[in-house]
Amino acid sequence: MATILVTGGAGYVGSHCCLALKRAGHDVVVYDNLFNGHERFVKWGPFERGDIRDKARLAEVFARHKPAAVIHCAALIEVGESVKFPDRFYDNNVAGALALLDVMREAGVGPFVFSSTCATYGEPLRLPMDETHPQNPVSPYGWTKLMIERASRDIAAAYGMSFAHLRYFNAAGAAPEEGVGERHEPETHAIPLALMTLLGRRDGFKIFGQDWDTRDGSCLRDYIHVLDLADAHVRAVERLMSGGESLAANLGVGDGVTVIELLAAIERVTGKRVPASPAPRRAGDAPALVANNAYARRELGWTPARDIDAIIADAWKWHCEVEPKLFS
């Protein structure tokens, strides 16, 4: 078992990765500036507060904890904000990752697991999307993630490091029994927005476009439980630490749920109907995004275990019972 540094480990996906790593027997160190993260999500190892652009602070943390590998989840993530303020995203996401990789190289730490995204693909040319799909992002956020993929691939080749680029589709769900879940400010993701509407924390839920080329006219997305994502991170970091080859892999269920089907599933799980209204299409939305996950299944021995009902049930319990107590 090894010590793993998780940047952004106080955030949504990062905190669930820390939980999964601890369950697998690893020691965890969280590095986070708390811009998007929450200190109360740091539960499974020591917390080191710092910015990923701060090489001196990173070097201190590496010297103190001597991690064997890094899982890099720290990033600005809101797509719309990346269009408004692209400079902030390139500075934080790209410059920060380069600083981290430089400190890793200096410390002799080779394995780098990167929290990437299906946004690196851009508009889908075919579905489901596999790893050979062209990468042509449509937002600065997507470009920052693709730039980090390219840079870490080149740096790994030059200095004998290794990488796993894990391209998430739609992360969702929570681990309510462990006290971690989804809490973003502002919140932009469909499932928490719908559940917050049910709880009276929002006025209503909007369906952006009802004339898409899908089975019911609403956008279709591939929702993957955050604990299934975390399991893939554990498998990826263990692969790299044991000398396995670098890889880039899609993390999705391999099936899609439309917005209208999502609302029906929420009613099925909660017994409550989400008040929803139609709205115009949003610029940049794709009709459908679905992963071909065969490569991750084969290379990581990974299988997503939770369906949309399980995702909603965990998210509902989190938003109803746990989040209000933690953030009251």
Q: Given a cut of 90, is residue 102 above it in pLDDT?
A: yes
Q: pLDDT (tens digit, 9 = 90+) per residue, 157-171?
A: 999 999 999 999 999
- Percent of the chain whose pLDDT exceeds 90: 97
Looking at residue 303, which CATH number applies to its domain?
Answer: 3.90.25.10
Q: pLDDT (tens digit, 9 = 90+) per residue, 253-280?
A: 999 999 999 999 999 999 999 999 999 9
- Exposed / middle / buried, residue 327 (Cβ in 10 Å: 0-12, 13-18, 19+): exposed
Active-site annotation holder among 12, 31, 121, 141: 141
For position 328, what pLDDT does the model report? 85
Q: For this structure, is 141 an active site residue?
A: yes
**Whether 159 and 303 share a structural domain:** no
- 3 state DSSP class of 191: helix
Domain end point (choices 251, 268, 303): 251
**Whether 289 and 145 share a structural domain:** no
How does DSSP classify residue 269? H
Sequence-distant (6+) residues with CB within 8 A of 59 are: 103, 106, 107
For position 62, what pLDDT does the model report? 98
**Whether 68 and 190 share a structural domain:** no
Peptide bond into 304 cis (omega under 30): no
Structural domain boundaries enclosing 152: 3-172+224-251
Residue with tokens 């029906």: 264
Q: Given a cut of 90, is residue 1 above it in pLDDT?
A: no
**Per-residue b or e along 236-263, where b marks 16 or more CB atoms closer than 10 Å to that residue's CB:** bbbbbbeebebbbbbbbbbebbbbbbbb
pTM (predicted TM-score): 0.97
Establish how many alpha carbons lie within 13 A of residue 177's alpha carbon, considering only the half-sphere containing its beta carbon. Answer: 3
Domain count, the chain: 2
